[in-house]
Amino acid sequence: MGDSCSNSKRVKLRDGRFLAYVEEGVPKEEAKHKIIIVHGFGCSKNMNFPASKELIEELGVYFLIHDRSGYGESDSKAKRSVKSEVDDIAELADQLEIGPKFYLIGISMGSYPAWGCLKHIPHRLSGVAFVAPTVNYQWPSLPEKLIKKDYRRVFIKWCLWISEHAPGLLHYWLIQMLFLTTITIIKGAAFYFNSHDLDVLERPTGFPMVKDKQQLKIVFDTIRDDFVACFEKWDFEPADISISEESSVHIWHGKEDKLVPAQLQRCILEKQPLINYHEVPDGGHLIGVYNGICDAVLYALLLGEVRKSL
């Protein structure tokens, strides 16, 4: 069910909100594999997933990418949560009639809706791939000795407190970011990104940014609520999810990821040894747009084949 007032295709959900989406790859009617891609923080349905056209056509892949709640041309959910993200994905799949089962790829912070789908609608999933997934420091199974002095944990805890008790201060800080030049941003990014990531950031279309819109209240509210839903306390964690030998669950992560340490992903594997883990030796957090990574993800997720990605 579309909306004529939008520049994109949209569906109307049961609660009255509209979700905008794009369809890519081969036509849905001809597809052998149907994949919903869940974009990350500050991104949109127009994100870059650079799989080769030849491989997409060879495998018969149809992609469905939506603006998550509040992003792009999608309406905001009054109270975003892991479960509300799952409900949006399930309803989008139903309205577009992509079938009873589909594949899911969660990029960075798009991982928390993907974990939610594994928890709440595993019967709908043919397989799931996580690419540079975030980690919630409130998951009980993470070893305290590993995360106790992690500056990321402290930063996230601070941001959660500010989001609840002083959102105006956080809004002010984001607006100040508008005054930074591109060069300043790239230099500052070296603390969070490795050399391969910086190459991506320096490409004009390499990584979508929303800093020119952060001054808009609706955008601020969206990214704040997304951050809170990802890092607040959940009613489950990955260790609680039932994953069988028949499941096709993969995690792709960069060994040099400075935003989400690879050691934390390995902790998840200790509790979930049936997850297929692919660590990119020279990879940082932006591995999803490195040359060859998306092809490798598709080979592994759809065919169970591990291909060299770097």
Distance CA 213, CA 99 (A): 36
The answer to whether residues 142 and 267 touch, using CB atoms and an 8 Å cutoff, is yes
Q: Where are the domains of the chain?
A: 9-303
Strand-pair partners of 171: none
Q: Is the dihedral of CA 227, 48, 23, 107 positive or negative?
A: negative
Residue 210 predicted with pLDDT over 60: no
For the segment 100-104, the average pLDDT, to the nearest whole number, is 97
Encoded tokens for 184 = 């300043």
Query: Mean of the per-residue pLDDT values for the chain?
Result: 87
Name which of 131, 178, 141, 155 is nearest 296 in CA terms: 131
The pLDDT tens digits of the residues spanning 242-269 come to 998 888 999 999 999 999 999 999 999 9
The whole-angstrom distance between residue 76's C-alpha and the CA centroid of its chain comes to 17
Percent over 90 (pLDDT), the chain: 67
The pLDDT tens digits of the residues spanning 32-90 come to 999 999 999 888 999 989 999 999 999 999 999 999 999 989 999 988 999 999 999 99
The pLDDT assigned to 220 comes to 78
The pLDDT assigned to 60 comes to 98
The answer to whether residues 280 and 253 touch, using CB atoms and an 8 Å cutoff, is yes
The pLDDT assigned to 206 comes to 45
Measure the CA dihedral 108/112/115/116, to 10°.
Answer: -150
The answer to whether residues 278 and 296 touch, using CB atoms and an 8 Å cutoff, is yes
Distance CA 262, CA 16 (A): 40
Sequence-ordered list of residues with C-beta below 8 angstroms from that of 198, at least 6 positions apart, any chain: 186, 189, 190
Cα R_g (the chain), whole angstroms: 19
The pLDDT assigned to 170 comes to 66
Question: Parallel, antiparallel, or unpaired: how do β-strands 125-131 and 249-254 relate?
Answer: parallel
What's the whole-model pTM score?
0.89
The pLDDT tens digits of the residues spanning 219-246 come to 778 888 999 999 999 999 999 999 988 8
The pLDDT assigned to 22 comes to 96
Residue 211 predicted with pLDDT over 50: no
Distance CA 86, CA 101 (A): 14
CA angle 246, 249, 254 (to 5 degrees): 150
pLDDT tier at 116 (50, 70, 90 boundaries)? very high
Residue 214 predicted with pLDDT over 60: no
The pLDDT tens digits of the residues spanning 139-177 come to 999 999 999 889 899 888 888 888 777 777 666 666 555
The pLDDT assigned to 187 comes to 54
Instruction: For domain 9-303, give the fold.
Output: Rossmann fold (3.40.50)
Q: Does residue 3 or residue 296 have the better pLDDT?
A: 296
